[in-house]
Structure 1
């Protein structure tokens, strides 16, 4: 409860959602306090159900069934409930104790009921709750080994038609469908528990196929069906461990499943998880099938993954390299994977050779995997080959001129004690780029020259470059901040220019940016000893912006 504060609510939701929540405090109703949680309804565009967890390991958390909340965000409705809870902080401990007492009273009452009384109560609930009745029917069918009954129930659970308004399950209904579909895995697990694991294997495979068909017509943006698939995969493995099916047949099914694209990766079954079930005969068959599949399609993702997994399990580094080498990417990423494998295997000379080969064979150095460049430069540094590291960084910068590649070149050149010459060469390239950008605004996207000079702390040169070839607003702001103490008049011109377009926009973030600029403008006038000019500026600004109440409030808070 100590973590539930206005500051934490604002941090969780963000300033925008927090501000919006202030308008929903009167829309919170039906607050119910439990031991560690609070639920309520919040009336917005629709009525939304909200649950706030008070004692989570990472502080407050919550769920809301509004569209924004369903995406996993801490929405304005959760903030509104949190603020409502804070408003009654003093009574909350008493309410939580009452919730614990109610739970204890219920448990005591249920424990005192006879078997007949409990059955009568359960039958009453089953009559009123269709979902509870279905869950219990499934458990009953599984317990008595009624395969046809369980199969019929599983098919019903995975049927999308009750949720598909126009032949398609929309985002708003996807979670409800997934909740229902998830009961299929529980039903199959019950079948295994009742001593029918072979039937459970058959039924799990059918359920996987049905789920794969269903996902084509479900907007599963939040991945709810992925959890259903994972539960089915776990149920299949559990059933196989109990039934001990024919190892060679199981190996064939696992490979067919891994290489097939019918389940869209929903179940994500790893054949090597079945080693204890397959035994020696099954693993031999599995290896043979994997090798055959890879030889038939050396560029297939699934084939490569299976072959690599088997090779790594066996400690066969050469086969791992062969898998990667059979499908080298043009950006050097595969070369890097091979180099890392060889480094791990303590074969550094081969690793270095593969990394260098990746650079040589890259079709476009500007698109090369930057991790490969970093890896090779690190190896050069470890081998005291500093000129080679500088040369690679220079080539990479020349091909891909950015602030990052400039910084990396600078670090390598300083380590090799040759930065002045490298800097002049690099700046010459950047000046040419900036000049082309100035002449043809659409011919070059970037303002790297100014960024590089700012990063070098060469403010005078950066200002000159910005003046001659242009700069974007964030760079001008940085320049103004840096020169304000010595050149307040120049800085003032920048701040005034940046503030003007903000006066035409609305929104709290815009207002914060504008007020920050006005504070900088005030500082410039103080340094220039022109307070009257600042007073006139603020008066004009207030007059023209008086309808923006949040801006006026923010200016008042800063004494403007």
Structure 2
């Protein structure tokens, strides 16, 4: 009996009500609130939330809350145009309000799917065949897909070739010469179908036709990518699958190595080489010595003809890396050094992999010297050299690199790295006052010049040092953010409860206008902190009155009240 993997809703949502407002706009967000009672069949898995919204007609919504950003789709007319519609808003708000119930709803969805699997497992061969034929009679897309599978399994190469040409054609999906986002998934599904057919052809007959079909498909994908909106990444996934099919077919069928090298070079150096991306190193064994020599020749020739070309340089680098030709690679790279130090880093890494660590360090040091004052410097160059000095037992040089880096980019991370290096070299007591003076100057300049800021690094550094009192004393004189004030209150609450209390109360106020699990959780944390302040001051009766008033105003938020009850609030 087949089983489906269990799906679970994420522990905490990775989006907020503000995210929904930003994506939908104020008007659609407001209209979405009117559809909350029309949301049904809500469910969630690890990567998506689904529901049906019964508006003018049933509309199916899919939200993908995964990082880096929330996305949503709906099959209503407005949603099909690529907008985050009012139905998406309604589902998002419902999910935030019912987050604690999503695991139960998801389990019910999984149970229904498992029931279907069990029923299918109970059917015998004839019953399954009858069921499939019934579906084929009413589903032309399924009929076409299985027809192609049958042709591939039977090694009917002409039929497979004709079908694949049709599957690669973007014209049925085009409007005014382009394929928009809502149709890109359909075209990508056809590409996946073509890839499966080519894979089947390669495993049923030792015929290099499967290789040439995959090559034609890859070329067609690259050309089509220029007129397809691949915002959701469907085309990229399908292209990667086709690239894998080509690699598998080459390994199995062993086509002519020189011809394959010529095709590979043409793809890598072509206008559409970014999709799909092919790694020359993966073809090294397939090409053998004759094919690899031809690929190396073509890469060098292209670079000589156009030495400033990014594509030509990248292809030559890839081939030389796979070839292990370190000196030749260094010579090629050093002919055109990037001003941010990234090329210096690449050379250092290749020399380091070859065991030539002193030469690697020399290139990294050169990179730092030649990119001084040239923003933005490649941060990995600093980390490479710092790691080298640490491994080589050179603490003085390590402190120098970390100090120079901190002077160039004064952040909490560079401050921490400087502190770690100085403590290892036993010089932090000397270095720390200088570093804090620089951060204090930065904070004052931000305040004078009204620069946009996320809060002075000075406060973060002092808190990170465990020097809460110094941070508390410095905060009033620099542009400290509300979030930093809360962290300061947390750090000094035991010693200054009367001062910390108003900070917590100010932070609670805007949360009372929000919904969703993250807002409720944060409000609960702040209320617990406020209660601790009242207890330290002996004013618990005052907190009791405040909490009763807050609960009265928030009485419609059942999940919030349940959370407060669980924490004894």
What TM bracket, shorter-length normalisation?
0.7 to 0.9
Matched, 1:177 2:187: yes
Take 1:491 and 1:124, find their aligned partners in 2: how far apart are those partners? 71
Q: Which structure's relative contact order is higher, taking Cα pairs within 8 Å and 6+ residues apart?
A: 2
> Residues 219 and 267 of structure 2 are in contact (CA less than 8 Å); yes or no, is this contact kept in structure 1?
no
> Residues 380 and 386 of structure 1 are in contact (CA less than 8 Å); yes or no, is this contact kept in structure 2?
yes
Take 2:347 and 2:273, find their aligned partners in 1: how far apart are those partners? 31
Superposition map of 1:112-511 within 5 A = 126-138=136-148, 149-164=159-174, 168-189=178-199, 192=202, 197-237=207-247, 246-262=256-272, 264-266=274-276, 268-364=277-373, 367-442=376-451, 446-511=455-520
Q: 1:124-143: CA deviations, max 9, x gaps?
A: 66443323432354356557
Take 2:332 and 2:187, find their aligned partners in 1: how far apart are those partners? 41
Cα displacement (A) at 1:249:
3.5
Counterparts in 2 of 1:161 and 1:176: CA distance versus 1, 3 Å:
same
> Residues 365 and 399 of structure 1 are in contact (CA less than 8 Å); yes or no, is this contact kept in structure 2?
no
Match of 1:107 among 108, 117, 125: 125
SS at match of 1:367: coil
> Residues 145 and 196 of structure 1 are in contact (CA less than 8 Å); yes or no, is this contact kept in structure 2?
no
Take 1:210 and 1:145, find their aligned partners in 2: how far apart are those partners? 23
Take 1:230 and 1:494, find their aligned partners in 2: how far apart are those partners? 52
Cα displacement (A) at 1:269:
3.3
Cα displacement (A) at 1:314:
3.4
Cα displacement (A) at 1:260:
0.4
Counterparts in 2 of 1:511 and 1:159: CA distance versus 1, 3 Å:
same
Counterparts in 2 of 1:129 and 1:196: CA distance versus 1, 3 Å:
farther
Matched, 1:9 2:9: yes
Take 1:135 and 1:504, find their aligned partners in 2: how far apart are those partners? 52
**Bigger CA drift: 414-423 or 210-219?**
210-219
SS at match of 1:44: strand
Take 1:395 and 1:277, find their aligned partners in 2: how far apart are those partners? 48
Cα displacement (A) at 1:466:
0.1
Cα displacement (A) at 1:420:
1.5
> Residues 342 and 381 of structure 2 are in contact (CA less than 8 Å); yes or no, is this contact kept in structure 1?
yes
SS at match of 2:336: coil
Cα displacement (A) at 1:294:
2.1
Q: 1:248-299: CA deviations, max 9, x gaps?
A: 4432222111110235422x33445444554433332222111111223344
> Residues 362 and 368 of structure 1 are in contact (CA less than 8 Å); yes or no, is this contact kept in structure 2?
yes
Cα displacement (A) at 1:484:
1.5
CA RMSD between the two structures: 4.3
Higher Cα radius of gyration: 1
> Residues 280 and 319 of structure 2 are in contact (CA less than 8 Å); yes or no, is this contact kept in structure 1?
no
Take 1:173 and 1:2, find their aligned partners in 2: how far apart are those partners? 29
SS at match of 2:11: helix
Take 2:202 and 2:510, find their aligned partners in 1: how far apart are those partners? 68
Q: 1:505-529: CA deviations, max 9, x gaps?
A: 4544334323332322222122112
**Bigger CA drift: 403-412 or 301-310?**
301-310
TM normalised by structure 2 equals: 0.76
Q: What are the ranges of 5 or more consecutive residues in structure 2 without an aligned counterpart?
A: 18-31, 44-49, 63-71, 85-90
> Residues 12 and 518 of structure 2 are in contact (CA less than 8 Å); yes or no, is this contact kept in structure 1?
no
Counterparts in 2 of 1:464 and 1:290: CA distance versus 1, 3 Å:
same
Take 2:453 and 2:61, find their aligned partners in 1: how far apart are those partners? 51
SS at match of 2:324: coil
Take 2:482 and 2:532, find their aligned partners in 1: how far apart are those partners? 20
> Residues 255 and 286 of structure 1 are in contact (CA less than 8 Å); yes or no, is this contact kept in structure 2?
yes
Take 1:164 and 1:546, find their aligned partners in 2: how far apart are those partners? 52
Matched, 1:518 2:539: no
Take 2:548 and 2:448, find their aligned partners in 1: how far apart are those partners? 40
Take 1:264 and 1:233, find their aligned partners in 2: how far apart are those partners? 12
TM normalised by structure 1 equals: 0.77
Q: 1:345-388: CA deviations, max 9, x gaps?
A: 22222122111111101142663233222222233334443222
Take 1:274 and 1:482, find their aligned partners in 2: how far apart are those partners? 58
Counterparts in 2 of 1:104 and 1:542: CA distance versus 1, 3 Å:
closer
SS at match of 1:43: strand
Q: 1:221-263: CA deviations, max 9, x gaps?
A: 3333234333433454555567765544432222111110235
Name the count of aligned residue pairs.
Answer: 517
Q: Identify the residue that residue 28 of structure 2 maps to in structure 1.
A: none
**Bigger CA drift: 425-434 or 189-198?**
189-198
Counterparts in 2 of 1:184 and 1:495: CA distance versus 1, 3 Å:
closer
> Residues 431 and 449 of structure 1 are in contact (CA less than 8 Å); yes or no, is this contact kept in structure 2?
yes
Counterparts in 2 of 1:187 and 1:286: CA distance versus 1, 3 Å:
same
Cα displacement (A) at 1:538:
3.1
Take 2:519 and 2:133, find their aligned partners in 1: how far apart are those partners? 60
Counterparts in 2 of 1:363 and 1:421: CA distance versus 1, 3 Å:
closer
> Residues 399 and 418 of structure 2 are in contact (CA less than 8 Å); yes or no, is this contact kept in structure 1?
yes
